[in-house]
Amino acid sequence: MSGGALDGLKVIDLSRVLGGPYCTQILGDHGADVIKIEPPQGDETRDWGPPFQDGLSAYFSGVNRNKRSLALDVGSEAGRAVLLRLLDGADVLIENFKSGTMEKWGLGYDAVLAKRFPRLIHCRITGFGGDGPMGGFPGYDAMVQAWTGLIAVNGPAAGDPVRLGVPVVDLGTGLNAAIGILMAVNERHRSGKGQFLEVTLYDAAIALLHPHAPNWFMSGKPPRRAGNAHPNIVPYDLYPTKTRLVLIGAGNDPQFRKLCEVLGRPDLGKDARFKTNQDRNANRAALDKELRALVAETEGEELAMRLMQAGVPAGAALEVPDVLEHPHAKHREMTIAKDGYRGTGMPVKLARTKPSLRRLPPQFGADGRAVLAEAGYAKAEIDSLIAAGTVAETRRTR
- Of the three residues 274, 309, 324, the one that is the final residue of a domain is 324
229 domain-assigned: no
Residues with Cβ within 8 Å of 22's Cβ and at least 6 positions away in sequence, in order, are: 63, 170, 171, 174, 175
> Exactly one of 33, 43, 91, 170 is catalytic; which is it?
170
Same domain, 114 and 78: yes
Same domain, 47 and 162: yes
Same domain, 37 and 126: yes
76 domain-assigned: yes
Q: Active site includes 170? A: yes
- Of the three residues 324, 339, 370, the one that is the final residue of a domain is 324
CATH number of the domain at 121, please: 3.40.50.10540
The DSSP H or E segment spanning 343 is strand 341-344
Domain containing residue 52? 10-208+348-392
Q: Of 97, 25, 13, 93, whose CA–CA distance to 61 is shortest?
A: 25
Same domain, 318 and 361: no
Residue pair 215/223 in contact (Cβ under 8 Å)? The answer is: yes
285 domain-assigned: yes
Same domain, 320 and 353: no
Please give the tally of structural domains in the chain.
2
333 domain-assigned: no
CATH number of the domain at 302, please: 3.30.1540.10
338 domain-assigned: no
| 3-class secondary-structure state, position 295 | helix
Same domain, 256 and 186: no
| 3-class secondary-structure state, position 303 | helix
- Pairs from 76-81 (Cβ < 8 Å, separation ≥ 24): 76/390, 78/385, 78/388, 78/390, 79/390, 79/391, 80/105, 80/106, 80/107
Same domain, 352 and 306: no
Same domain, 197 and 93: yes
Per-residue pLDDT of the chain (398 residues; tens, 9 = 90+): 458 999 999 999 999 999 999 999 999 999 999 999 999 999 999 999 999 999 999 999 999 999 999 999 999 999 999 999 999 999 999 999 998 999 999 999 999 999 999 999 999 999 999 999 999 999 999 999 999 999 999 999 899 999 999 999 999 999 999 999 999 999 999 999 999 999 999 999 999 999 999 999 999 999 999 899 998 999 999 999 999 999 999 999 999 999 999 999 999 999 999 999 999 999 999 999 999 999 999 999 999 999 999 999 999 999 999 999 999 999 999 999 999 999 999 999 999 999 999 999 999 999 999 999 999 999 999 999 999 999 999 999 87
